[in-house]
Amino acid sequence: MVQLSTAVCLLGGLFLIAPVLMAPTHSSMCTPLRTINDSLSHRRRYMKHNFPIEYTIKVHNREIFRLSNISRMKLRTEGLNDLVLQRLWFQVYQGVLKKILWVLPTRHPSRPYTAELERRFKDAQAVFMQSHPAEVFQEDLPEKIQDIWDSLTEKPENMPESSWRFATPKSLLDNLCRTMYCLFSECFSNADVQEDCKYKTGNDTVGCNLFKNHPMSAFKWVHFVKMMSGINSPNSSLHNVSLDVKEASAFVFQILDYLRFCRCFLSDRTKYFMKLRDDRVEVHFSVT
């Protein structure tokens, strides 16, 4: 077993961590994405209440696209950047929305909502394409991502039965929403994320109310987690910083809570623990 250990801390409220290169979201993307987010805020009504209990639709297994998928892809594909994942996100969810629409009769109460959501999604996709040079979309994708892309664009009749899964419409839109917050985090406020991000511990559901009464902005929290994504790579460099116990002991627990729910950038192989040394707290991260 190979283990990499990383100690992460703060001095004077500043992160002393070498930055990990991430693809920033183009500012023009935020308006159409927030419009999508407005529609998604009504998904419980239209994707759950208007359907029979436990109603599911047939989708490609690659279309069940969760935060854990992003984490695994970042772990297994060296140098994978957000732009590639954003391209894949649009490809995945244009197919998901089409499949939901396909099963809805013309007079179904959720059809106008779904059609409008698909229109807004296409508008955002068009802005995304216009926000980057054309040659960016002509570049070869990493092999693992290309395999996913090819399977998504394969004709349904050519796919083996094992390629299909059943999922509820609401769970598919839940995944759309959470992965959108992850991949386009610069466009969303802390309030947006707190409303939707949840993780389960045993029988308890814990919301991500982690920024309350804290001096760090939501943007800095998200940026911190993005920087931490670098430790998922076996070739990542190690960082050593420390945290003053008297001033920021509670902050350490908030970091751990935040990382515990945000599987977006930390894989299941990532472990972390705290160590008290004199008047300092060290937060150690490891990839096993």
Which of 148, 183, 218 lies at the terminal end of a domain, its last residue? 183
* 52 and 161 inside one domain: yes
The answer to whether residue 250 is domain-embedded is: yes
> CB of 131 within 8 A of CB of 24?
no
* 237 and 263 inside one domain: yes
* 155 and 171 inside one domain: yes
Which of 183, 218, 241 lies at the terminal end of a domain, its last residue? 183
Nearest to 173 by CA among 120, 117, 222, 127: 117
Alpha-carbon span 103 to 51, nearest angstrom: 11
Alpha-carbon span 288 to 271, nearest angstrom: 8
Q: Is the pLDDT confidence value at 6 over 60?
A: no
The answer to whether residue 198 is domain-embedded is: no
pLDDT band at residue 160, thresholds of 50, 70 and 90?
confident
Give the domain CATH number at 155.
1.20.1250.80
> pLDDT tens across 170-225, in order?
999 999 999 998 888 888 865 555 455 433 333 322 233 333 333 344 444 444 44
What is the DSSP pairing of strand 243-244 with strand 280-287?
antiparallel
The answer to whether residue 200 is domain-embedded is: no
* 15 and 34 inside one domain: no
Range scoring the smallest mean pLDDT among 69-73, 151-155, 228-232: 228-232
* 171 and 219 inside one domain: no
Average pLDDT, integer, range 160-167: 90
Question: What's the pLDDT at 21?
Answer: 33
Question: What's the pLDDT at 246?
Answer: 47
> pLDDT tens across 17-52, in order?
223 333 455 678 899 999 999 999 999 999 999 999
The answer to whether residue 194 is domain-embedded is: no
The domain total for the chain is 2
The three-class DSSP label of residue 280 is strand
Q: Is the pLDDT confidence value at 236 over 50?
A: no
* 216 and 142 inside one domain: no
Cα distances from 200 to residues 13, 34, 111, 115, 270, in angstroms, run 30, 26, 31, 32, 18
In this predicted model, which residue has the larger pLDDT, 263 or 16?
A: 263
pTM: 0.62
* 90 and 16 inside one domain: no
* 175 and 75 inside one domain: yes
Percent of the chain with pLDDT over 70: 56
The answer to whether residue 266 is domain-embedded is: yes
> pLDDT tens across 49-86, in order?
999 988 999 999 999 998 888 888 888 887 788 899 99
* 112 and 153 inside one domain: yes
* 69 and 179 inside one domain: yes
* 177 and 232 inside one domain: no
Which of 164, 183, 202 lies at the terminal end of a domain, its last residue? 183
Range scoring the smallest mean pLDDT among 9-13, 97-101, 135-139, 254-258: 9-13
Average pLDDT, integer, range 258-278: 51
The answer to whether residue 199 is domain-embedded is: no
The answer to whether residue 189 is domain-embedded is: no
Q: Is the pLDDT confidence value at 111 over 90?
A: yes
The answer to whether residue 248 is domain-embedded is: yes
* 86 and 132 inside one domain: yes
Q: Is the pLDDT confidence value at 95 over 90?
A: yes
Alpha-carbon span 205 to 203, nearest angstrom: 7
Q: Is the pLDDT confidence value at 252 over 60?
A: no
Residue ranges making up the domain that contains 112: 27-183
